[in-house]
Amino acid sequence: MDFNTIIKNLEKNIYHPVYVLMGEESYFIDKISDYIAQNVLDEAERSFNQTILYGKDTSADTILTAAKRFPMMAATQVVIVKEAQNLKDIEDELLTYIQKPLLSTILVICHKYKSLDKRKKFLKAAAEKGVVFESKKIYENKLMPWIQAYCSSKNYKVEHKALGMLAEFLGTDISKVVNELEKLMILLPEGSTITSTDIEKNIGISKDFNVFELQNALGQKDVFKANRIINYFGSNPSLNPIQRTMASLVNYFTRLLKYHLTPDKSPGNLRSVLGVQEFFLNQYISAARNYSPKKVVEIISLLREYDMKSKGIGNVSASSGDLQRELIFKILH
C-alpha cells in the first residue's frame, strides 16, 4: 500500500491491526506513525490506551505483552514500536502474534533505514492481516517531481527556477525539504506560486549565486557569469561547500554524457533517461552543443580529481575557492 492511500484510509478511520513501516526513507515512516499516534485515540483515551516503545529499550516479550492487552474505556488501543531495526529477531519473535493479531490493538512497527527480509513469513503474514509499507528513498532524478507534487498537494505552485534551486540546495533529505517548504507555506498565501525570490528571502539560497545557476552558466559557456558565481562561492564557503558543488556538477555532466550516448533523443525518452522535466531538458540540449562527448568525459575526470584535492589528496595549500576557480577555468577552456 502506498503512502497516500494509507493516510487517506486513516483519515477515513479505516484502521488495521498491524502496520509494518520499513525502508530507507524515514520521513514517510514518521508521518504515518505520527498520524496514528495523534489521531486514532482522543487525548483522554491515549492516557490508558497508547503505548510507545523504542527498539533499544524494549524486547519482543514487552511488545507482545502490550499488544495482547485489551483497551480500557475505548474501542482500540495503539502500540507503536519506534526504531524497531534495533530489535534482534523481531520477525521470528512476533510472527505468531502477527498471524493472529488482537483486533482491538493497532500495532505499528517502525523499521527505519532498511527493509525487513521479504522472503520470511513475517511480511507475508503482516500483509495478510494489515499493512506493509516500504518507504523508498527519493532519488535525485525523482526529487523535483516529488517537490512539485508535494507543493501541489498543499495548493501551491513552484516556478521552474525555484524548483531547481530547492533540489540542488536541499538534496534528497525529504525531512529537510519538507521542513523548508513548510516554512515557506506559512509565509505565503495558499494558492500562490513559490518563486526564486521567496527562496532567497526565506531559505537563504541566493537566486543568482547558486549551483543551479552555475550549471546553467557552464552549459551556456557563459564565462563571465560562471566566474562571478564561483568567486561568490569562494567568498562564502560555509554557504557553498565545495563538496556540494562537486557533487552537483558530477550529476550535471553525467546527465550530459547520457544525453550524448542516448540514440533515441525524443523528448519523452530523454526525460526518462536523464530523470529531468521538460523545462530542464532544453538546458541539456543546449549544453550538448557546447560540449562534445570527449570533452564531457574529460570534465567528469577533472571533477573527480578536484574532489580528491578538496579532501587534501594531492593538494597542500590551495583553498577551496582557488580549487573551484581553477576547475571552472579548465571546464570552460
Share of the chain above pLDDT 90, in %: 75
What pLDDT does residue 141 have?
80
Q: What is the pLDDT of residues 12-41, one digit of tens each?
A: 999 999 999 999 999 999 999 999 999 999
In the chain, the domains with their CATH numbers are: 3-134 (3.40.50.300), 140-202 (1.10.8.60), 216-332 (1.20.272.10)
On whether the CB atoms of residues 19 and 133 are closer than 8 A, the answer is yes
Output the pLDDT for position 278: 82
Q: Across the strands, what pairs with 157?
A: 193
User: pLDDT tens digits for 106-129?
Assistant: 999 999 999 998 889 999 999 999
Cell numbers for 36 = 496514528
Which residues are within 8 A (CB) of 11 and not within 5 positions of it... i.e. 6 or more apart?
none
Share of the chain above pLDDT 70, in %: 100
- Give the whole-angstrom CA distance, residue 215 versus residue 231: 15
Least confident of 82-86, 224-228, 268-272: 268-272
User: Is the predicted pLDDT of residue 194 greater than 90, yes or no?
Assistant: yes
Per-residue pLDDT tens over the stretch 258-293 = 999 999 999 999 988 888 888 889 899 999 999 999
Cβ neighbours of residue 135 under 8 Å, at least 6 residues apart? Answer: 3, 21, 22, 23, 24, 25, 26, 27, 28, 29
pLDDT of residue 328: 95
H or E element at residue 52:
strand 50-54
3-state secondary structure of 196: helix
Confidence of residue 140 (pLDDT cuts 50, 70, 90): confident
Mean pLDDT of 138-162: 91
With a cut of 90, say whether residue 206 has pLDDT above it: no
Residue linked to cell 513552484: 158
Q: Residue 105: in which H helix or E strand, if any?
A: strand 105-112
What is the per-residue pLDDT across 307-325, written as a single tens digit (0 to 9) for each? Answer: 999 888 888 778 888 999 9
Q: What is residue 195's predicted lDDT score, i.e. its pLDDT? A: 94
**Averaged pLDDT of the chain:** 93
So what's the pLDDT on residue 299?
96
Backbone angles phi, psi at 86, to 5 degrees: -85, 0
**295 or 240, higher pLDDT:** 295
Q: Which three cell numbers stand for residue 322?
A: 582557488
Statement: the pTM of the whole predicted model exceeds 0.85: no
What is the mean predicted confidence (pLDDT) over 123-141? Answer: 93
